Structure 1
Amino acid sequence: MNEKIYRTQCGNIHYWINMAQGSGNITLIFLPGLTADHRLFDKQIEYFEGKYNVFVWDAPGHAKSWPFKFDFSLLDKAKWLDDILCRENIHYPVIIGQSMGGYVGQAYSELFPNKLKGFVSIDSAPLQRKYVTEIELWLLKRMEPVYRYYPWKSLLKTGIKGVATSSYGRKLMYDIMMIYDGDQKRYAQIAGHGFKILAEAMEANLPYKIKCPAQLICGEKDHAGSCIRYNKAWHKNTGIPIAWIKNAGHNSNTDAPKEVNSLIVKLINEL
């Protein structure tokens, strides 16, 4: 994987890429969730590198993509992603987004519906306004103080056990969160801004239709927000296939990497 930098008016985005299979072939675009970084997909990169072109980033403001001004929208993230894909001559992107990464994927599909060739949602949820309540939107826009004043040790414990069930997944999330040890303000900014732009994207009430082959994945023990409820409704309303991962939490790709990888392969084979 080659580390590269894309410069925006708000800051630099660090990403890792391997295009050894050539630009005429499928490229798997791995997008980590809110507060996570590129390491969230280590098990996927390890499996797919050498078989397909692969890409993963530290989202704006996260990990190495710092410093960064928090004055961008979810659609801005999708536009920057497209700028990077164009720069790297990527013509057949398949977005695999975990949680917030899945929302970025839906925003990308809204802006560039003919570019996206495949979409895998891992413990994410639909971006359409109809799925969320008024109180959920109200809370999403007011989360930064919660993360700023919540005791760090308790936040660390909750953040680790709340997203993963496996020892590997929990250790990985611990390592990721420890980047912000001693700088809880930055962690709170990342989380607060992320939830805020998510709410704003939902309030925009855009179609956010997925027009390419897609796969929904959700851990049976995903207790992050109302993820299970959202995915049941998403599957019911759209008919997009859904796979429930036994004993997996919100980061099901770290709790059950083999199963998630096989589902990604299945989607690729259908393209």
Structure 2
Amino acid sequence: MTEKTHAVPNGVIHYWMNDFQPGRAVLVFLPGLTADHRLFDKQVEAFESTYNLLAWDAPGHGKSRPFVMDFTLAQKAAWLHAILQAEGITAPVLVGQSVGGYLSQAYIQAYPGEVRGFVSIDSAPLKRKYMSDKEFWMLNHMAPVYSAMPWKMLRNAAAQGIGITEYAQQNMREMVAQYSRDEFCGLMKHGFIMLAGAIGADLGYDITCPCILLCGEHDKTGATKRYNPMWAAGEHLPLTWVKDAGHNSNADNPAFVNAKIEKFVAGLPGLRTGLQGRLTP
């Protein structure tokens, strides 16, 4: 994977791509809050020889810092769109974990018809109707809870709360280790505010492309495990529980998740190649 950059007014976004080959589907990996592109190491390892891949460090995360954290989810989607356009990528398959799944929905909302498929991993719906008033209030007031925790406890909670395997927990520990306490808490605060703003806007967020929902059967982050059956039933989307997995199910059980991604992509409409071998509609 080759590291590349894209400058925006708030900072510089870093992302990684493999050697794109004509006729291959493009998978765009979007990690969740406080995680970076390394969250998808097991997916890159499995797919780098069969798919065209792009993985980013979201604004303010990983190498995409320093970054001015005053942007909305819609702006974040616009920056991702600009990167894909700059690389000549159209009709990507978005693979979004947690907040990366929220971003995917915002992207589909902003750029209808441009996404070929969406794989949600331990994410939840952006539609306001799925969230209770109490949950929406808590989303707007969670930041002080994290800020009040001792830093060592917070780091341990971040790792132990998202995975049940040693690999998933260590993967998260390594990603969290790059932040100072203030940076980490700032990311959490901005993430909650950004999501509350998007959900409070009460937009359609209709998923107009093929989609699958994957959720760890031991996911304990927020109400993710409760939201997914509601989301699946309300939007008529297929839901698969990932066995032996928590919130970062793609790290806990990569073989299972990779197989589901591969089957999903194989079932999408046929490909034709275009600019620089990128996938085109």
Answer whether TM exceeds 0.5 for this pair: yes
Q: Does 1:265 align with 2:262?
A: yes
The structural deviation recorded for 1:88 is 0.3
The structural deviation recorded for 1:148 is 2.3
Equivalent position of 1:214 in the other structure:
211
Report the 3-state secondary structure (helix = DSSP H, G, I; strand = E; otherwise coil) of the residue aligned with 1:34: coil
Equivalent position of 1:169 in the other structure:
168
The structural deviation recorded for 1:246 is 1.2
Q: Is residue 220–residue 247 contact of structure 1 (8 Å, CA) maintained in 2?
A: yes
Q: Does 1:2 align with 2:17?
A: no
Report the 3-state secondary structure (helix = DSSP H, G, I; strand = E; otherwise coil) of the residue aligned with 2:177: helix
The structural deviation recorded for 1:234 is 0.5
Greater than 6 Å deviation, 4+ residue runs: none
Task: Give the number of the structure with larger relative contact order, counting CA–CA contacts within 8 Å between residues 6 or more apart.
Answer: 2
Identify the range of structure 1 (247-256 vs 152-161) with the bigger mean alpha-carbon deviation.
152-161
Report the 3-state secondary structure (helix = DSSP H, G, I; strand = E; otherwise coil) of the residue aligned with 1:104: helix
Equivalent position of 1:235 in the other structure:
232
Report the 3-state secondary structure (helix = DSSP H, G, I; strand = E; otherwise coil) of the residue aligned with 2:29: strand
The amino acid across from 1:12 in the alignment is: V
Q: Does 1:27 align with 2:26?
A: yes
Q: Does 1:186 align with 2:183?
A: yes
Q: Percent identity?
A: 49
> Aligned partners of 1:208, 1:51: CA distance in 2, in Å?
31
So what's the TM-score if we normalise by structure 2? 0.93
Identify the range of structure 1 (234-243 vs 250-259) with the bigger mean alpha-carbon deviation.
234-243
Identify the range of structure 1 (223-232 vs 148-157) with the bigger mean alpha-carbon deviation.
148-157
Structure 1 gaps of 5+ residues are none
CA RMSD of superposed structures (Å): 1.0
Q: Is residue 32–residue 98 contact of structure 2 (8 Å, CA) maintained in 1?
A: yes
The structural deviation recorded for 1:143 is 2.7
- Number of residues of Structure 1 aligned to a counterpart in Structure 2: 268
Instruction: List per-residue Cα deviations over 1:172-196 (Å, max 9, x = no partner).
Output: 111111112xx21111111110111
Equivalent position of 2:126 in the other structure:
127
Q: Is residue 24–residue 50 contact of structure 2 (8 Å, CA) maintained in 1?
A: no
Structure 2 gaps of 5+ residues are 269-281
Instruction: List per-residue Cα deviations over 1:112-164 (Å, max 9, x = no partner).
Output: 11100000000000000001112222221223332223101111121111100
> Aligned partners of 1:25, 1:258: CA distance in 2, in Å?
21
Equivalent position of 2:94 in the other structure:
95
Instruction: List per-residue Cα deviations over 1:236-255 (Å, max 9, x = no partner).
Output: 11121111011210000000
